[in-house]
Structure 1
Amino acid sequence: MMEAFVYNAHPARVIFGSGTLRQLPTEVERLGLRRVLVLSTPQQEKDGRATAEAIGGRAAAVFAGATMHTPVEVTEKAMALVLAERIDGIVAVGGGSTTGLAKAVALRTDLPQIVAPTTYAGSEMTPILGETRDGVKTTQKSPKILPEVVIYDVDLTLSLPVALSSVSGMNAIAHAVEALYAQDRNPIISLMAVEGIRALAQALPKIAEAPADRKARSDALYGAWLCGTCLGAVGMALHHKLCHTLGGSFDLPHAETHTAVLPHATAYNAPAAPEAMRAIAGALGTGDAARGLYDLAHRLGATLALKTLGMTEHGIETAADLAMANPYWNPRPLERNAIRDLLARAYAGEPPRA
């Protein structure tokens, strides 16, 4: 007998394919936008300005200040430009940092967003925003945050370096892993989660071997879309709480931190979520979910030690305390010492242990 569930589908227009960014001017016009702000990171400013040129006269300004963890002070600078230029819409072409800034502006203004991802972050499919203020990262959820249009263009990912492709893909997998044991999980999202994990687990090693493999890139982007949809539809648990804590408080790189922590958070929850673990292991083609995630990341050459990412050893205790404060729901009750041990293994890059 099917268990009772609630499924809330989020409204979004998704355009998927190769060369689809060419549809951006049409989408801007379709939404009736006349003064668009194009967002980018400092490193992608050239791309941001090229995007503005492609939009033409409807592009009013470019803000190339997006950065990871969406600091509030950066959002305030972008907001000043929004007001000064009478902006009526946002276009973001980039990774999670650029998407995060677009969502932060939208939360404050309810302006429509068009997002074209260049990584596998998946945040473009969620009504969730994580912002950092005074070294603390907090998340919130609102319909205002969800982009109106997402343009997936495989061509935008062809130049994504292998190292970033790997950790970005592992970050996406983390969304699907937690969706399978989320408190508000449902069979529709679980189907997407398993398919997203499978697609990425098969595509990422091929990308590592042949970065220009267009089919592998397409499969990875497809998987990232599914995993992002999972993150937007159901709640997060211990893994995301830990990564938000580590990112906001220690300024660790976002995708790399997700990659290092995921096997350990999965192992922590394994005893309390056996069905989810079987589904994850099956999608990975392995016998053990946590070890399968660790082995996949290792095969991709990803950094698996938080100490290599810049975390100090004394931060283990601090992070454990922060994880216990304002915790997310989790299938296994939170035990401070067990979480401390989890973090210690992730700090050292050791294999996961239940």
Structure 2
Amino acid sequence: MNSDQQQSSGYTGITFDHSSVDLVLSKIPKLARDLTGADYAAVTISQPHAGMRIFHDGLDKNIKWQDKELPQGRGVLGRLGPVDSPIRLDDISSHPDSYGFPDWHPPMKALVGIQIFAGQGYKANLYVSNAPNNGEFTTRDTEILNQLTQFVKFAMEFAELHDRERKTRMIVEATENRLQAVIDGSLAGVLIISASDKLLIGFSKQACTILGCNLEVGTTLTEIHNSVDFFDINGQVISEQDLPIEKALTDGIETVASEMMLHRPDGSKLPVLVSAATIRIHDTEIDSTVLILQDLSDILQNEQMKSDFLSMVTHDLRSPLALIKGIINEMDVDVNTSDEIHADLESVDEEVDHMTELVSNLLDMSRIETRTKKVDSEI
């Protein structure tokens, strides 16, 4: 195999996309004519289930070639491949395999054909025909066209990389938009902090409402810390290094549903449930962390209303039960009470004691829920 053949060997490293291929190949015929002085130049593409496409330069503009039968790539042109590339003929009509051109096609004499690439069922060739002054193409012309095909390969690789990057960017943007829609639809406040520089890279609208301050992408974690304070359930301020978001960023320690009191910039206080989780690359390196803030004010208000209701109910029940028990005790000491009535009074007294115990349990449950009574563990 000569040097020309080595340069134009088959190329299989391209995943084809018509937008990139067509853009590159459509410019090649005119460039090939300018470099060689040929009357005609064409790039043909054979592709699976789609026949042949042609990009050309030099054909009569009055010929409606799009409506014509295209060359089928048989004969001399059909032989063009990794081994028979390039092909240089002084007179293509004298070649024994010269056939396959439709009647409308302009006459060709001198010809150079070079394979651009072949692979994945695709095949693309470059042809120039009719050298200047009805002469012959030279070895130099062939070398120039070989160099041109090498440029085409690189250009197509670049175009393909551009297409991949564009498609990847579109996928990433669509994924980010879907994620942001999910975050914005959440009732919780969500903040996403980059681990490398501790900058805010995403947040929900509810996060601004809960924190009581404006947020924007690029806000530093330090700026957020300076705007708000977190206190534990005992009223002790939580230092920055002990905050869930810092522990997740620094040590990878995740926090699930920790109740805190948030002190906001306007001086108001808000009970919140705080969680922090890490987002890792390949399950090892921490890429970012997610802080989730849930407003507990409505929940605690509902719990307080329930507790107040239980307290009221238990108080209203205890008074009549105590009155009933007192009456029973007075009746039970009456010497004239028959044994049958005495037994009935004891039964009623037992039920009153049982009801009193139930009411006490309700009151204790209310106090436990509001943290005004500690639970004694029993073994």
Greater C-alpha radius of gyration: 2
- Which structure ranks higher in relative contact order (CA pairs < 8 Å, sequence separation ≥ 6)? 1
Normalised to the residue count of structure 2, the TM-score between the two structures is 0.16
Normalised to the residue count of structure 1, the TM-score between the two structures is 0.17
